[in-house]
Amino acid sequence: MSYVASIHIYPVKSLDGIAVSQATILASGALEGDRSLAICDQAGELINSKRNSGVNFLHLSFDIKQRIACLKIKDTEQEFFFHVDRERPGIECWLSSYFGFPVKLIENLLTGFPDDTATPGPTIISTETIAEVASWFPRVCVNEMRHRLRANIEIGDVPAFWEDQLFPEANEVLRFKIGTVIFEAINPGQPCIRSTRNYAATEAYSNIKNVLAAKQKEIMPDLVKIGRLNNFSRLIVNTRVPHQAAGQIVHIGDEVQILSVSKSLFNNIPD
């Protein structure tokens, strides 16, 4: 039986994720607390690893209930604790000093700051897909690959690339259920892949695009041919969730069921 093997949310966009046992669906379709905070510069541009490599050396741990963030710079011992509501100026001052220019910590509790605003639902991948892709690189462990792909929900007891079946013909979507929540698989995701902090793995990643492109052509030729998997980061599934699912909860252990292929409940499905 396919089931939810793990759930990860990322409290601050582009920083570390945390494993949780359950997550609540918001009206937007996003998971509560996922990427609800983000760091931005004075122009309002979000800070991520593509725009600033400093993100790669910033470690975050986060207490969801207490709303306390712990920040630590890689290869240093000192930890800095902030309550993200009561000590917002303090954390912004610390982050500004770290990045070397003024930044703000902004928050959106309704939709968060998803990578793809057209598909704000949780991203999906199978645990075996992560393990299989990690195996293609001799010095890359499963957790390192998991950290790079940054999916929200992992599906267990299914083979690698189980996600392939979630991409039907154009203008159609596949509906599936996790527990009591109905999801629509929209397209392969293209997340902002963080650079590795594992220096031993850096060399292994240097040729990652070529390796993944070759493997995708070998294992998934039909999807590559139609452009579904035209980028090495397109290994996860973007989803949408109907508004009526707001307030429902996804748990570790929930059964995953493929339902049907149909026209989308939404307009303008991105390809």
Q: What pLDDT band is residue 231 in, cutting at 50, 70 and 90?
A: very low
- Asked if residue 268 belongs to a domain, the reply is no
220 lies in some domain: yes
Range of the domain at 127: 3-30+114-263
pLDDT for position 50: 81
Give yes or no: residues 65 and 120 share one domain. no
* Each residue's pLDDT tens digit, 119-155: 889 999 999 989 988 888 788 889 988 888 889 999 9
Alpha helix ranges (H) inside 100-174: 127-135, 142-149
* Domain identity same for 202 and 99: no
The whole-number average pLDDT for the span 228-246 is: 74
Helix (H) or strand (E) holding 200: helix 199-205
**Please, what is the end-to-end C-alpha distance for the chain in angstroms?**
30
Query: Percentage of residues in the chain with pLDDT exceeding 70?
Result: 78
**pLDDT(194) > 50:** no
Question: Which residues lie closer than 8 Å to 50 by C-beta, 6 or more apart?
Answer: 192
Residues 94 and 157 in one domain: no
Residue where a domain terminates, one of 79, 107, 135: 107
Report the C-alpha gap between 152 and 143 in whole angstroms: 14
Domain match, 21 and 51 both = no
CATH number (domain holding residue 252): 2.40.33
| Residue 130 contacts residue 154 (beta carbons within 8 Å) | yes
Q: How many domains does the chain have?
A: 2
Same domain as 259, residue 213: yes
pLDDT, residue 207, reads 59
Q: What is the pLDDT of residue 115?
A: 82
16: confidence class by pLDDT, cuts 50, 70, 90:
very high
3-9 and 18-20 strand pairing: antiparallel
By DSSP bridging, strand 172-178 and strand 181-189 are antiparallel
Q: What average pLDDT score do residues 154-160 get? A: 94
pLDDT for the residue 221 = 56
- Predicted TM-score (pTM) of the model is 0.84
